[in-house]
A and B are shown apart, each in its own frame.
Chain A
Amino acid sequence: MAERPLSPHLSIWKWGPAMLVSILHRVSGDGLALVGLPVLLWWLGALASGPAAYAEFVGIATTWYGFAVLIGLSWAFFNHFASGIRHFVLDIGAGYAVDANNRWSVVTTAAGFVLTAAFWAALLLL
């Protein structure tokens, strides 16, 4: 048999930024779907049900664990948003050169955290 490289190989690999972006895209997207959508429906349902139901929602949302979930969901959105835009760029065939791909992968991941911090700063300060 010819000695050809086996790729992708299951045990010989090293971490790269593109892998991190890909994994975070899936984690944040599925997190938004499985946790974010129930929270969205709870919020809309409470809004439709009246002041008492809404107060109950706000009461739980503003506990420390409520804030932890909401901050996590906002990060999941902004991360998925940033890596989603990266997907749009890759879809037109741009950004596949290794250096550019690594660089934009890092920028995408950082943008998710920066936008999350900016959103909460704007929400609390403005």
Chain B
Amino acid sequence: MGEGTDLGRVRGLGSAHHGSHHWLLQRYTAAGNLLTVLFLAVSFVALPDLAYPTVHAWLGRPLPALAIALLVVSVFWHARLGLQVLVEDYVHGASRFAAILLLNLAVFAGAGAGLLFVVQTVTAVAGEQSTKDAMAAAMSSAMSQQGGR
């Protein structure tokens, strides 16, 4: 395959040499999606119910929290690559530049929000756990003091 005409290359319209990188990243993130989304689907089935206390405690555990954090990164990255192809196929001229810019901003914002939500949930669950532990410790020390008298 060529690299476009000489004039095209001078104008910066020739091959940008990003194609194989894009292709590879699409495959790597596809493998990431495969593992993490299947983890999510199996978890939905395996959890006893999908009510708030169950799901909240589940996402607070280390493995689900890591899996969902990785899911957010992999899925948003993959979506960024896929939507780029959509834009390149159907949007032309100046609106293409605007669409790609908007896409990049939306993907960074979305992935950032997803990661923040996971961190918030993990922190909240850890906080609840340490409160419970502190209450239990206070209770048992009070009981042992009473028992000592």
Using an 8 Å CB-CB cutoff, how does the interface string of B95-137 with A read, 1 for contact, 0 for none? 0000000000000001001101110110010000000000000
Given contacts A54-B52, A77-B37, A84-B34, contact A47 B75 (CB under 8 A): no
Interface residues on B, range: 20 to 34
Given contacts A41-B110, A44-B117, A51-B52, contact A32 B44 (CB under 8 A): no
A112 an interface residue at 8 Å Cβ cutoff?
no
Secondary structure dominating the interface of B: helix
Closest 3 CB pairs between A and B? A33-B79, A44-B117, A48-B120
Q: Report Cα–Cα, A29/B30, bound state, in Å.
A: 11
A47/B79 contact (C-beta < 8 A), A84-B30, A84-B34, A119-B45 known: no
Closest chain-A Cβ to B145's Cβ sits at a distance in Å of: 36
Please give me the residue from chain B that is nearest to A33 by CB atom: B79
User: Which A residues form the contact surface with B (CB < 8 A)?
Assistant: 26, 29-30, 32-34, 37, 40-41, 44-45, 47-48, 51, 54-55, 58, 77, 81, 84, 87-88, 91, 119, 122-123, 126
Tell me if B1 counts as interface (CB < 8 A to partner A): no
The distance in angstroms between the C-alpha atoms of A116 and B41, with both chains bound, is 11
Tell me whether B27 and A37 are in contact (CB under 8 A).
no
The answer to whether B86 touches A30 (Cβ under 8 A) is: yes
Q: Do B82 and A33 have beta carbons less than 8 Å apart?
A: yes
B68 at the A/B interface (Cβ < 8 Å)? yes
| B45 engages A30 (CB within 8 Å) | no
Interface string of B72-108 (1 = CB under 8 A from A): 1001100100110010000000000000000000000
Within 8 A of A (CB), among B23-68: 27, 30, 33-34, 37, 41, 44-45, 50-52, 55-56, 59, 68
